């Protein structure tokens, strides 16, 4: 059975640092703190919306979280400011290792999927802008399930869409909550630890693979998979 | 129909500041930051466990969050240190307004419930230590439902247990996520804004009542309830 490797997007393939740079214009020195609150609330809102069975498209979580941060930091952003900040998420660059890493995996004979909390159209648009869309065999959005990661239903849906079954579907993410959700749902997992100081939640479970970039991923995954990934075929 | 007023515990009735004081012994100046990360992760873990349908007793969320904070801040707490910090949560004092506020509500002829993410036995023990247990008509724990706030199932369960029905059951909480969960489930709500700088999540919904202490709660609730609360009977 052919292996599917599904990638989370933000922080995993796409570098969100440019959002931080844009925030500086509005908040000055507080940019780092503002970004942290915005991102944490964005995720918290998705967890709570999922738990409440009160789905909204992910950009609503992002906007509500921005409004929270604006009130919290008393930055008094105008509607135009908020619109400008929301737009930044749509045109971020991929990390340096992504294009060659994905190509190597593709040459190794696996399916590559994008798997995100975002809307399908937004994901495609973002990957196209980052010039990597043509490397994917498919995109899977939680919007079909109307819930958010780490709801088991979204990982079940991914495994179904991939056609590889749970035991041959990998989730690669820089977000520990995403990795743990996939582990608990029976998928194979790789934690992409892009930030060396990031902490993996101490829940008594571990990813199959831990790495700091995509280039080394193929061999690591091949070592943990019985079929479908052949490192010898790869342009590594 | 008699009105039920269900109170959240930590931050609403019980003052968690003493946890902060105990942390200082281990972390020094970082105590405030440590406490914030510990508390935020504790809640995040409960949201994620609820969403993942992977229930664990709430103290497991609290301990895992403490372990996360310990790694994040590199505080190298021993098992004995962690045990000491976990114990502090079991014997915290009530806020100053709580005893007289609850008595006034009780004299006004409403049912008073404790409603918490904590285990039923732990809630009772905590309220007994704080010398307010005898003021409650009942305690409702999420452990029966095996999920966490703000899962609609836990508010449905509360309304069922209270015997007051949704339209006569109030949730009083200092936590906006709890208030929003109750609103979305059709309960009446009061946001106890104990911290003047706290931000209510901008989700387009509002509590029926906002107040900064329990003493004024009875009149506010009476103004929003057709029956069951009589401010004239109260010892206010």
Mean local confidence (pLDDT), B145-163 = 97
What pLDDT score was predicted for residue B226?
Answer: 56
User: Which of A88, A122, A144 represents a domain boundary (last residue)?
Assistant: A88
Classified as helix, coil or strand, A114 is: strand
Q: Could you tell me if A113 and A62 lie in one domain?
A: no
In contact, A71 and B200? CB cutoff 8 Å: no
Residue B231 has pLDDT above 70, yes or no: no
Asked if residue B215 and residue B146 are part of one domain, the reply reads yes
Residue A182 to residue B52: CA distance in whole angstroms: 10
pLDDT-derived band of residue A17, with 50, 70 and 90 as boundaries? confident
Chain A residues touching residue B175 (CB < 8 angstroms): none
Q: Tokens representing B228?
A: 């069951």
| Domain limit, last residue, from B58, B88, B118 | B88
B28 or B91: which leads in pLDDT:
B91
pLDDT number for residue B105: 94
Q: Rounded to an integer, what distance in angstroms lies between the CA atom of residue B83 and that of residue B113?
A: 29
- Residues A55 and A50: their CA atoms lie apart, in Å, by 6
The per-residue pLDDT for B224 is 83
CB contact under 8 Å between B203 and A152, yes or no, is: no
B81 and B139 part of one domain:
no
Contact list, B34 vs chain A (CB under 8 Å): none
Which residue range is the domain that position A42 belongs to?
17-88
Find where tokens 């709801």 sit.
A151
Least confident of A55-59, A142-146, B106-110, B122-126: B106-110
Q: Does residue B158 register a pLDDT over 80?
A: yes
Q: Give the mean pLDDT of B114-128.
A: 97
- Indicate if the pLDDT at residue B236 is higher than 50: no
Give the pLDDT band (50/70/90) at residue A235.
very low
- How is residue A54 annotated by DSSP? -
User: Among A44, A50, A184, whose Cβ lies nearest the Cβ of B44?
Assistant: A44
> What is the distance, to the nearest Å, from the Cα of residue A96 to the centroid of all Cα atoms in its chain?
16
Predicted confidence (pLDDT) at residue B230 exceeds the cutoff of 80? no
C-alpha A74/C-alpha A92 separation (Å) is: 26
Whether A199 and A170 map to the same domain: the answer is yes
Q: What is the separation of C-alpha B161 from the centre of its chain, rounded to a whole number of angstroms?
A: 17
Please list every residue in chain B whose beta carbon sits closer than 8 Å to the beta carbon of residue A184: 52, 54
Before A150, cis peptide (omega within 30)?
Answer: yes
**Chain-chain contact of B71 with A199 (C-beta, under 8 angstroms):** yes
Residue B228 has pLDDT above 60, yes or no: no
- Kindly determine whether residue A44 and residue B47, on different chains, have CB atoms separated by under 8 Å: yes
What pLDDT score does B169 carry?
Answer: 97
Give the mean pLDDT of B165-193. 97
Residue where a domain terminates, one of A32, A63, A88: A88
Q: Are B172 and B192 in contact (CB under 8 A)?
A: yes
Q: By the 8 A CB rule, do A3 and A221 touch?
A: yes
Across chain B, mean pLDDT equals: 93
Domain count, chain B: 2
What count of residues does chain B have?
A: 236
pLDDT at A131: 96
Six-digit token string for B90 = 């079991």
pLDDT recorded at residue A222: 83
CATH of the domain at A211: 3.40.50.1000
Active-site residue, B201 included? no
The residue-averaged pLDDT of B205-224 equals 92
In angstroms, the CA A197 to CA A203 distance is: 18
State chain A's mean pLDDT as an integer: 93
Residue range A132-154: mean pLDDT, rounded: 97
CB contact under 8 A, A52 and B202: no
């Amino acid at each position: 059975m052919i292996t599917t490797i599904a990638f989370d997007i933000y922080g995993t393939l796409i570098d969100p640092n440019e959002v931080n740079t844009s925030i500086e214009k509005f908040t000055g020195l507080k940019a780092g703190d503002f970004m942290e609150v915005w991102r944490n609330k964005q995720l918290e809102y998705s967890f709570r919306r999922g738990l409440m069975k009160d789905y909204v498209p992910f950009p609503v979580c992002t906007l509500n979280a921005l409004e929270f941060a604006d009130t919290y930091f008393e930055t008094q952003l105008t509607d135009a400011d908020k619109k400008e900040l929301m737009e930044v998420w749509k045109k971020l660059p991929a990390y340096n290792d992504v294009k060659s890493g994905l190509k190597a995996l593709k040459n190794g004979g696996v399916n590559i999927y994008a798997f995100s909390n975002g809307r399908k159209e937004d994901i495609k648009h973002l990957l196209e802008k980052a010039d990597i869309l043509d490397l994917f065999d498919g995109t899977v959005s939680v919007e079909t399930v109307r819930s958010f990661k780490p709801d088991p239903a979204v990982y079940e849906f991914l495994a179904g869409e991939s056609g590889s079954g749970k035991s041959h579907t990998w989730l690669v993410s820089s977000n520990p909550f995403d990795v743990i959700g996939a582990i608990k749902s029976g998928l194979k997992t790789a934690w992409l630890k892009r930030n060396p100081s990031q902490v993996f939640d101490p829940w008594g479970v571990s990813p199959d693979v831990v790495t700091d970039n995509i280039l080394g991923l193929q061999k690591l995954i091949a070592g943990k998979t019985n079929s479908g990934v052949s490192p010898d075929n790869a342009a590594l």
